Amino acid sequence: MAVSQGQGDGASLVDVAGASSVDVAGFIDRQPVGGFQIKLLLTCAAVLFLDGFDTQAIGYVAPALAKEWGLSKAALGPVFSAGLFGLMIGALVFGPLADRIGRKKIIIFSTLAFGIGTLATAFIGDVNTLLAIRFLTGLGLGGAMPNAVAMTSEFSPHRRRATMVMVMFCGFSIGAALGGLLAAALIPQFGWRSVFAVGGIAPLLLVPILARRLPESVRFLALTGRAPARVAELLGQIDRNAGFTAATKFVVHEPQLAGMPVLHLFREGRMLPTLLLWVVFFMSLLDLYFLSNWLPTVLNDLGASVSSAALIGSMLQVGGVVGTFALGSIIDRFSFRALALVYFVAVFAIGAIGQLGHSVALVTAAIFAAGFCIVGGQIAANALAAGFYPTSVRATGVGWALGIGRVGSIVGPLVGGALLTAKWSTGSVFMAAATAAMCAALAAFSLSRLAGMGGGKGADQPSSINARLRTAAAAN
């Protein structure tokens, strides 16, 4: 039987037989961010870099594809949404599965799946096949994201967790932005298929590296009681001065939640925060994918060339990268209160896009600002969701939030296509998109009020949602 020798902050324990017991989460929390964690972050970022590239590629090639195949704007909506529907299913299925069998296996499988699917897209010749391939590709894309978030979160000290996850998630934004730059360079020379060829080969080359270099989540291993020697090895890489004996026991002070992981998202005070998180994700991803998919086409209609439209549209993701780095420490300190403010600013940035189409410089600035807020805000929401849920349902919590958000990402392109087909003005279409950002801002504000985040405490701190609304659950 173990007895605590600390204040509940992760101190080591000693059992009556004299064998040490190490609180894995507390051990990680006491360490500075070191080389091992940075390498892990970069590895997960590489997965999301390719995830972002392959997810956004269809939006950048859409004008050229539509011209070659004679497709209307309305016909492009289902093409955009097929992949996003696969992303939704992948997140909903592979999040809970990873909580059962581990993060590493799902990340490797997902990367292999979306690599094969993206490469196959380069060889198709009709819309029906494109819809099927984009859906299957989306399954892999959707499975990789929540598990990369969970993996990075579980190796990060709580005081830097949001920053670490957000920096890692920059890989997605950089990959998506590079997709626009690469599309602008490749399409005029080699055609739209070349973009998918590059986007498919790269993940396949990454798979053997992941199999060799990516560790399993140390908190997952400790919680499930698997491979204690491997847990000791991983903690030893985080702190080279740590010494563990064969008798050392590794523990995570969280319940091993039995039954269907999804049900635990609504227990022990999690129901209302979970539903509000889903609103944030739904509205945020609705805006993100509306903008990602339709900006190049709208800009092309306003007179920009295909290459110029792709280049200007990529500013959405460039703004997202800048926003992520700028917001990381702020989110760690102020959590959902800061997130609400970011989405509120997004309302004005998105609305401005529809009013500034006459000026390349001004519309580029508005798109950059929208990316700063919407992409940066979404990445912050990912980090906050990962910090909210306990280890045994963390991938499920993040995966289902992303899965519900993917419903928004499906609705966004479809609504955009319908409004454009109905001859709504560009200004009116973007004002409608700004309304979604306002809904995300209100939901984030409600979460900050529920958490009672006075004093700027983060999501893993005593006055936060975790403690106030999940008092029966163990702290992260």
Share of the chain above pLDDT 70, in %: 88
- Per-residue pLDDT tens for 355-372? 876 778 888 899 999 999
Any idea which of 10-24, 32-46, 99-113, 458-472 has the lowest mean pLDDT? 458-472
Any idea which of 12-26, 160-174, 183-197 has the lowest mean pLDDT? 12-26
Confidence band of 259 (pLDDT split at 50, 70, 90): low
- Per-residue pLDDT tens for 6-37? 333 334 444 333 447 888 888 888 888 888 99
Mean pLDDT, rounded, of the chain: 82
Report the pLDDT value the prediction gives residue 255, as an integer from 0 to 100: 63
DSSP, collapsed to helix, strand or coil, labels residue 429 as helix
Report the pLDDT value the prediction gives residue 308, as an integer from 0 to 100: 78
Classify strands 20-23 and 13-15 as parallel, antiparallel or unpaired: antiparallel
> What is the average pLDDT across 50-66?
85
Name the strands in the sheet holding 13-15, side by side, starting at the edge strand that comes first in the sequence. 2-4, 13-15, 20-23, 249-251
Confidence band of 340 (pLDDT split at 50, 70, 90): very high
- Per-residue pLDDT tens for 370-411? 999 998 999 899 888 887 887 778 888 888 998 898 888 788
Instruction: Indicate the DSSP class of residue 9.
Output: S
Beta bridge partners of 2: 15
Any idea which of 89-103, 332-346, 446-460 has the lowest mean pLDDT? 446-460
**How many whole angstroms separate alpha carbon 425 and alpha carbon 419?**
9
DSSP, collapsed to helix, strand or coil, labels residue 360 as helix
- Per-residue pLDDT tens for 415-461? 888 888 888 887 888 899 999 999 999 999 999 888 763 333 333 43
Domains and CATH numbers, the chain: 30-218+257-469 (1.20.1250.20)
Report the pLDDT value the prediction gives residue 350, as an integer from 0 to 100: 93
Share of the chain above pLDDT 90, in %: 29
DSSP, collapsed to helix, strand or coil, labels residue 116 as helix
Q: What is the pTM of this model?
A: 0.76
**How many whole angstroms separate alpha carbon 242 and alpha carbon 229?**
14
Report the pLDDT value the prediction gives residue 399, as an integer from 0 to 100: 87
Report the pLDDT value the prediction gives residue 113, as an integer from 0 to 100: 95
CA distances from 419 to 249, 278, 363, 425, 448 (A): 60, 25, 20, 9, 34
Confidence band of 307 (pLDDT split at 50, 70, 90): confident
125 half-sphere exposure, CB direction, 13 A CA radius: 0
